[in-house]
Amino acid sequence: MPSKNRQAMSLAIVAGILLLIAGVSGLATWETIKDFVTTHVIDNTIVQIVFAILIFIASLGGIAVIIGGLLIGKNKVRTGKFVIALGAGIGLIGLIVSLVIALVEGSFTLSSFLSIGAIGVILSIIARAVAVK
């Protein structure tokens, strides 16, 4: 395995653990987003179902990143990068939406943006970029 892929695997595993610890792509983030949308935008059965699905998928974000890293370690680079993209993508969406909500509500601080979860998302994106076929 190329050393870049070893680095990508290690980064993805650390990123996935950070995502799991912080819950950036987990239940808390999507519950916050759901609460904001249902309070300020729209609240109906379809919105509730969509958020139930998003909350389920988002809770797998860190696990998906770890699995993607392990796949890269097994020389399944393309599949591993795809799985990392799924996990990091959900995390990135959650991070961006949380940032926008914090800005709209006036509760944004730099320390909240540079959290363990944000670092996990950034590392997962770097891991995906480092991996080579």
Task: Copy the structure tokens of residue 33.
Answer: 């987003």
Task: Copy the structure tokens of residue 129.
Answer: 């970029």
Task: Give the number of domains in the chain.
Answer: 1
Query: 15-72 pLDDT, tens per residue?
Result: 999 988 887 655 666 777 888 999 999 888 999 998 888 777 666 788 989 999 999 9
Quote the domain boundaries for residue 100. 3-130
Alpha helices, H only, 2-133: 3-22, 27-40, 45-58, 61-73, 77-105, 110-113, 116-130
Fill in the amino acid letter for 63: I
Query: 77-97 pLDDT, tens per residue?
Result: 999 998 888 787 766 676 777
